[in-house]
Amino acid sequence: MSATDQADVVGICLHAVAVSGRLNAEEAPMISTSTCPMSSTQSTTQVNTAVCDAMDTRIMQIECGFTRGFAGMQLLGNTSEVCRDGKERARVALESLGINIPPRRLVVSLTPADVKKDGNQFDLPVAVSLALLLTERTPLISPGNWLFAAELGLSGELRPVKGAVSFAVAAMAAGLAGVVVAPENYQEVALTVGLSPHDSRRLQVLGLPDLKAVLAWMFGDVKPDIQAAAVPTTDPGQSLGPNFDDMILHPKLELAAVTACAGMHSMLLRGAPGTGKSMLAARLASILPDLRRDQHIEALRIHSMVSERLAAPLLAGRPPYRAPHHQASAAALIGGSETPGELALAHGGVLFLDELPEYRRDLLEALREPLEVGEVRVSRAKRKVVWKAGVVLVAACNNCPCGWAGSARRECRCGGNRLVAYQQRLSGPILDRIDLHINVPEHRAESAAVFVDLDQGQASKQTQRLQRIVQQARDIALQRNSQFGVEFNRDLPPQTLIAASGLPHGDFATLVNSIIPRTASNRAVVRCLRVARTLADLRSQAVLERADIEQAWSWQAEPAARDRGEMVHGLA
């Protein structure tokens, strides 16, 4: 985020050390320990919080009031066990400040009542609502214009919660004045406000250390210190993860890598063990451009739902990299109605599936639709959830169970039946939905070449060079594809391919028919032409050439299989 964007953020963060020195016993917003609700000027109180429903977030109201009946506190509103435990944490935190709840029947209502409430973010708003109910003092701020979300420790400290980014987005959409969160959630929330459109209402962001500080701020006993959020940034060429500066990159693999990143194309790497398949995949995210503002907010929201503290690379806008194990469950990979899976967590970045044939067949088949539409759609009896999942899918596998089929270094010992069974683990429809099928060549240099000091030559700047190539091709594609309503070449509709090629209709048909055989599926033809368009963009050419289509066709499933000497079957 630029310095201008940071200046637009009204960020307010109280540090625990500073607050502990300023919020002493005399300054605390003390309510008489003998507080009696009969003397309170308020019959009920209302405080805002929020709850996440996948990529949707709803504002919730916490209402507190006394009623007739036996003494005790009752929580209403379709709450989970975590929420019900929160009222006890709120009670103990208030008592640690000398605010005792009188022996009367107290009702805490979470509305709307029909929405399921789950999460520990309700602790703080329940405590604030109770404190407002029990005091005779009038707060200097209007609690109904603020959103509170934090877990409470028994001594009153504020702890981070999941979904803080989504809470901030919902608060902006509702036109609230600000949000109050734990200090650990402050950075991601302030960053989200800074990334929001300039014409949206700016939130004030409070990152307070404990309940004592929250009440002191509300009743005007302490004025918070104002300071900007420290947002991680990266210099051009700097990567916050593995990059290509330490890899000897074969020219064929370099072309495949920049093609996949420039057009957001999926890729399958096949070859013998030790040829660099996993190494290439782990470094691919380093040459992807930074996330756009909307992508960045979407990625922050998704990751915030599964983690209370977001990683520095993601905060800095770098595309994520995810590599789930092949024994991952369907919910872990695809996602469910409650939490996103690895596919959604890789949104805007790279999803790497190593040892692709080892994944369960149903998991691979479940990837087919998300790869086409860039979304995961989960349907349940009472819920329908959509997760964003625009990723560069990179998969890797060997050519046979032992791994040495086609290798010049070792002899394959797999029988014919084992080899055929291994190849058939990947269905034709799955293979036909992958844009680039790369047969990774074996490294035949001297053994000591692996340990060459790359800092001595141009290889140390390899990542920067590849980043520039990808960014330049992206810019060219975006300028052209905007007229078609898409951003990346992988999303070009079939009916726009002739216009995007820059060729007259007759010349386009003649060129395509002379290169792509009639036995190819329609899907393979469309994917080949999308890849060819990316290859032309890498050369800064507005018109497709024969070499572009020939190279793109050689990367399709059927030609790549023939190049490995395999029997081609099931590709349709």
Spatial distance between the Cα atoms of 473 and 475, rounded to a whole number of angstroms: 5
CA separation for the pair 348, 318 (Å, rounded): 9
* Other CB atoms within 10 Å distance of the CB of residue 112: 13
Token pair, residue 481, equals 């594809």
pTM listed for this prediction: 0.85
Q: Count CA atoms closer than 13 A to 369's CA, side-chain side.
A: 11
Q: Write down the pLDDT at residue 449.
A: 54
| pLDDT value of residue 537 | 97
User: Kind of pairing, strands 178-181 and 204-207?
Assistant: parallel
The predicted structure's pLDDT at residue 332? 93
Q: pLDDT tens per residue, the chain (572 residues)? A: 444 444 343 343 433 333 333 333 334 444 433 334 434 445 678 899 999 887 888 999 999 988 887 777 888 888 889 988 999 999 999 999 998 888 888 899 999 988 888 889 999 999 999 999 988 788 988 888 999 999 999 999 999 999 999 999 999 999 999 999 999 999 999 999 988 875 455 789 999 999 999 999 999 877 776 444 455 555 444 446 789 998 888 999 999 999 999 999 999 999 999 889 999 999 999 999 999 999 999 999 999 999 988 999 999 999 999 999 999 998 899 998 888 999 999 999 999 999 999 999 889 888 888 888 889 988 877 778 889 999 999 999 998 899 888 888 888 888 878 888 888 888 888 888 899 999 998 876 555 455 555 454 455 689 999 999 999 999 999 999 999 999 999 999 999 999 999 999 999 999 999 999 998 989 999 999 999 999 999 999 999 999 999 999 999 999 998 888 876 554 43
How far apart, in whole angstroms, are the C-alpha atoms of residue 122 and residue 127? 9
What pLDDT is stored for residue 572 in this prediction?
39
| Bridge partners, residue 377, by sequence | 386
In the chain, what are the domains? 3-218 (3.30.230.10), 244-563 (3.40.50.300)
- The DSSP-derived string for 269-325 is EE-STTSSHHHHHHHGGGGSPPPPHHHHHHHHHHHHTT-SS--HHHHTTPPPEE---
Which pLDDT value is given to residue 201?
A: 59
Tokens coding 372: 């086409």
Virtual CA dihedral for 539, 544, 548, 552, nearest 10 degrees?
Answer: 120
DSSP state of 25: T
Q: Which two tokens stand for residue 368?
A: 């087919």
Residue whose tokens read 């099931």: 570
**Which stretch of DSSP H or E encloses residue 240?**
none
Per residue in 204-214, is it b (16+ CB within 10 Å) or e — as a string?
bbbbbbbbbbb
Category of 537 on φ-ψ map: left (φ > 0), alpha (ψ -120 to 50) or beta: alpha
Amino acid letter, 227: Q
What pLDDT sits at residue 255?
97
Helix (H, G, I), strand (E, B) or coil at 399: coil
Q: Which residues are within 8 A (CB) of 20 and not within 5 positions of it... i.e. 6 or more apart? A: 209
> What pLDDT, on the 0 to 100 scale, is given for residue 253?
94
Q: How far apart are the first and last CA of the chain?
A: 46
Give helix 211-218 / helix 123-134 axis angle, nearest 10°. Answer: 50
Q: Are 185 and 159 in contact (CB under 8 A)?
A: no
For position 41, what pLDDT does the model report? 43
The pLDDT, as a whole number, for residue 3 is 42
Distance of alpha carbon 260 from alpha carbon 440, whole angstroms:
15
Are the C-beta atoms of 214 and 425 separated by less than 8 Å? no
